[in-house]
Structure 1
Amino acid sequence: MLTYALGRRLFTVGVGLTAAAAVALATLHVQLAHFYTVDPLLTALVMAALLAMTAVAERGSLRASALAGLATGLAIGTKFSAAILFLPLVLAHAIDGFDARQQARLHTLWRGPGRVRAALDLWNGLDAQRGWRWLLPALGGALLAFAMTNPYALADLYQFATSIGAQSAMVQGRWVLPYTEQYRGTWPYVYFISQQVRWFLGPTLGLLAWSGLAWLGWRIVRGASHLVQPHEWPAVAWGVPYFALTGAFFVKFPRYLQPLTPLLFIWGTALLFRATRRWLRARQVLLVLIFGPAVFYALAFTSIYDQRHPWIQASEWIYRHVPPGSTIIVELWDHPLPVSMDVDGTWHRGREYKQVEVDPYDAETPLKEFWLVQHLTAADWVVLSSPRGWEVLRHLGREYSLMPTYYKGLLTGTAGFEVAGLWRVEPRLGPISLSHNPFLSALLPTPAAWDAAAPAPWTLDLGFADESFNVYDHPMPIILRKTQSLGFEALRVRLWPELETGTIGVESEK
């Protein structure tokens, strides 16, 4: 509804309706609606704030300013990255204080070497009484809303600032955690866009969205006063800085861009409508070509929620096939299996098994090499709950030179284990499933169990998927069974035949 309202206000009813439909079908929004992250709430509050700011820019009023301030404060209280909203909040009130001639000159701020002079001219021509009359109530509303939702932030500013600083260090790559290792070597902006187009929006909606941003950039660079209307600038002042800042992050969780996607759809739809304003039949054809695959993808993706979670399926298999008392290797930073569940009327908690933990992200030393071999020697089964470890560590070079060989040995049988079970829950509709083969991205041979577990006769591979797309609601667990008992030294030589005991760990410490 908020996307429709803002699209209608910025452009037309048709743009608003089409952009709202795109948001409803976007896989990113569908997935995040199924489990709690702050981003869906943040997105709604950002859109509410921009809608109110647009009203301020068009015709200032106490009601619009108060709503803009309250929504801004609630958004910042939800996630601190929304503090960028202060920029369009101030700009909206400034636009209200400009006359029509000055509003038409806003585009000069982005053109040529005269930006500073243009800004000074606009500032000098601002009707301060009109422009700032409702800004103070807006700022007061923002502070009130933030204080009501984050009282402890004001009660302990030091702890709040420390927490914000820690998150800032994480997204900038100064504090790397196991679940952010996947972003090493990824390109700013490009990674976000490619993941949106492949998986999180889908190819057609992804192209619609990002063409909208390109069109906005063209309009700003061209700089003609009629290309960007004054009431559009609050949305621009949110969207452009937010993408410029977030797209440059080291950590590139695709959900970080959810607050931007409604605007991208609005701009992309406006471009489509403007380009086809003289050819209505062409517009209809394009809408079918865009939304037909989008509907297919949305229905296919929601099918994963009609199936049992892969960890539930794998856990039931373990309780039915793994003898009590068996030793099972599980991994830290992933969910240990089996989970507690009922099987045939009996409640199991996994306590009938001895679980041994391996930390894939532990420093690679001779001691780690020793324990990897020791655990494999003693274990009867190995559980890889998801590709979180084995798909990522392959690409991290010498810092993680033990683990890729460890995983390769497991999955190829060199370590004396075979794949006993593999579970694939993927978006599917009818005879077609949408897939990502993690073995290819991990540079590992694809086991026969992968094809045997295919959920549909035909598979469409959309390429590499961000870990967060799969790991929460449809991970791919693998269970390996020991088929050959090897002594400690024999197993070590099989895994690292070219190395003396501990050599690789010594090198990695240098």
Structure 2
Amino acid sequence: MSNKIQYLLLYLILVFAFSLRIYGISWDSGNHLHPDERAIILSVLGLRFPTSIESFLSPESSWNTHFFAYGSFPFYLLKILGDIASIFDPSLSGYDGIQLVGRFISSIFDVGTVLVLFFLGKKLKGERVGLLAAFFYAISVLPIQLSHFYAVDTPLTFFITLTLLLLIRFYEKPTLLRSLLVGIFFGFALATKISAIVITATIGITLTIDFLLIFLKRPHRLDVWGPHLPPFTKRLLKDAIIFIVATIFTYLILSPYTFIDFLSFQRQTAEQSAMTKNAFTFPYTLQYVGKTPYFYELKNIFLYGIGPLLAAVCFVGLIIFLLEMVKKYRSIDFAKHTILIVFFIAYFGVVGGFAIGFMRYMLPLYPLLCLFGSVLIYKLLTIFPPRPQNGSIKQFPKEQQ
């Protein structure tokens, strides 16, 4: 496939994805019917940038969201872009119009995820897999729905997917710039929602997988893996320090009151943690009393989040992806597969085990599920190539990876 055709198809997918996400953006006729969106907007409307360093550094600062169930970045982003939009229409920074700005931002982030997913699929399996994955995510039900609300789920999914792509690029060629980019966008993810902390498991495996493969090859042979230990340790410390510094610095800029108003952050985080363990914590979580962990999430993804047909393709694709990973053991492709699978298992293992089960909590897994589904379809096309009209069979070409 030529680059011209490839990017034309990608452009059409992005336009289609955006049209699905922007259509009906004023679905509630300005009545603020989404509770999380309403809570964010009410907090944003009270934000004022401080006039002095002293007031900025105070927990009572007018720039403090006083809302730590989410990170502060989505609040500041909406405030800044709402003020910019108000230059053209004053209502877009007020209660009656700012939700439209937020929903537009949410749509853009989710279309951004479509774009990042294309590059992730292309990096792993080639351009056709990238295009299929992007298309599958573009038409998935839950991402389209959540793009019509301004909450944290679409930006969180974008930053997590981008961080995974950057981790794979870093693994291929560990440069200073790539280390910094991973840390920066991981910081963005954390400043959107603290649940992004799960990515640390993926960062850990990215940094250690090469040495682990050498060690597991002959764990009892110190003479085999021992010489690799000093240079590995040196590189590990260097890259880990870069990741940590870039992440903390980014998070500090985007969510400063986590540190300045740490007591409020600690208290609200403890409340959210208690909610994930006990569905009786708040009235609005009583609906999840008796929830069956993991099965409940899988059922919702299958029936409602992606839809039965595409979800079946995605879950079978996950099995194929795992089998390919095992088959490519000790290769660079094995490492790339492992980076994604470790995140998938870690995130599903943690969030799927919650006592509560809001469907949106699983959104960061949807891009990977669509990627797995595209791997299956591509595999089927290589095994059963389309038959041209003249009756001869034409082999579906393999991609350059």
TM-score normalised by length of structure 2: 0.61
1:285 aligns with: none
In the alignment, structure 1 residue 17 sits paired with structure 2 residue 131:
yes
Deviations 1:227-270 (A, max 9, x none): 96212322222111001111111111111010111011112221
How many angstroms apart in 2 are the aligned matches of 1:197 and 1:122? 48
SS at match of 1:229: helix
SS at match of 1:280: coil
Alpha-carbon contact 1:209-1:261 (below 8 Å) kept: no
SS at match of 1:133: helix
Amino acid corresponding to residue 9 of structure 1 in structure 2: K
How many angstroms apart in 2 are the aligned matches of 1:187 and 1:252? 9
| Of 170-179 and 139-148, the range deviating more from structure 2 | 170-179
In the alignment, structure 1 residue 133 sits paired with structure 2 residue 247:
no
Alignment of 1:449-460 (within 5 A): none
How many angstroms apart in 1 are the aligned matches of 2:158 and 2:363? 10
Greater relative CO (CA pairs within 8 A, separation 6+): 2
Alignment of 1:105-504 (within 5 A): 124=229, 127-173=232-278, 175-218=280-323, 224-225=329-330, 229-281=334-386
How many angstroms apart in 2 are the aligned matches of 1:175 and 1:160? 22
2:158 to 23, 34, 44: 44
Tell me, which stretches of 5 or more residues in structure 2 are unaligned?
1-114, 388-401
Deviations 1:321-341 (A, max 9, x none): xxxxxxxxxxxxxxxxxxxxx
1:77 aligns with: 191
Alpha-carbon contact 1:69-1:142 (below 8 Å) kept: yes
Deviation (angstroms), 1:8: 1.0
* 1:231–1:223 Cα change, 3 Å: closer
2:143 to 29, 32, 47: 29
1:91 aligns with: 205
Amino acid corresponding to residue 151 of structure 1 in structure 2: P
* 1:127–1:165 Cα change, 3 Å: same
Alpha-carbon contact 2:351-2:361 (below 8 Å) kept: yes
How many angstroms apart in 2 are the aligned matches of 1:121 and 1:255? 45
Alpha-carbon contact 1:56-1:93 (below 8 Å) kept: no
Deviation (angstroms), 1:199: 1.4
Amino acid corresponding to residue 360 of structure 2 in structure 1: R
Deviation (angstroms), 1:176: 3.0
How many angstroms apart in 2 are the aligned matches of 1:238 and 1:40? 18
1:57 aligns with: 171
Amino acid corresponding to residue 202 of structure 2 in structure 1: P
Deviation (angstroms), 1:38: 0.3
Alpha-carbon contact 2:325-2:338 (below 8 Å) kept: no
How many angstroms apart in 2 are the aligned matches of 1:227 and 1:219? 12
Larger Rg: 1
* 1:163–1:123 Cα change, 3 Å: farther
TM-score normalised by length of structure 1: 0.48
How many angstroms apart in 2 are the aligned matches of 1:9 and 1:235? 12
How many angstroms apart in 2 are the aligned matches of 1:247 and 1:159? 27
Deviations 1:25-62 (A, max 9, x none): 11111000001110100000001111111111111011
How many angstroms apart in 2 are the aligned matches of 1:245 and 1:83? 11
Deviation (angstroms), 1:222: 7.5
Alpha-carbon contact 1:54-1:232 (below 8 Å) kept: no
* 1:249–1:219 Cα change, 3 Å: farther
* 1:126–1:90 Cα change, 3 Å: farther
How many angstroms apart in 2 are the aligned matches of 1:80 and 1:121? 37
Deviation (angstroms), 1:94: 3.0
Amino acid corresponding to residue 281 of structure 1 in structure 2: P
How many angstroms apart in 2 are the aligned matches of 1:218 and 1:122? 32
Tell me, which stretches of 5 or more residues in structure 1 are unaligned?
283-510
More strand by share: 1
Deviation (angstroms), 1:208: 2.3
Deviation (angstroms), 1:216: 4.3
Alpha-carbon contact 2:279-2:356 (below 8 Å) kept: no
Alpha-carbon contact 2:170-2:179 (below 8 Å) kept: yes
How many angstroms apart in 2 are the aligned matches of 1:226 and 1:272? 23
Deviation (angstroms), 1:177: 2.2
Deviation (angstroms), 1:168: 1.1
How many angstroms apart in 2 are the aligned matches of 1:31 and 1:76? 23
* 1:123–1:168 Cα change, 3 Å: farther
How many angstroms apart in 2 are the aligned matches of 1:6 and 1:182? 37
* 1:28–1:9 Cα change, 3 Å: same
Deviation (angstroms), 1:126: 5.9
Alpha-carbon contact 2:202-2:343 (below 8 Å) kept: yes
Deviation (angstroms), 1:221: 7.0
SS at match of 2:242: helix
Question: Percent identity among equivalent residues?
Answer: 26
* 1:126–1:183 Cα change, 3 Å: farther
Alpha-carbon contact 1:93-1:132 (below 8 Å) kept: no
How many angstroms apart in 1 are the aligned matches of 2:138 and 2:227? 40
How many angstroms apart in 2 are the aligned matches of 1:58 and 1:172? 39
How many angstroms apart in 2 are the aligned matches of 1:152 and 1:130? 33
Amino acid corresponding to residue 47 of structure 1 in structure 2: T
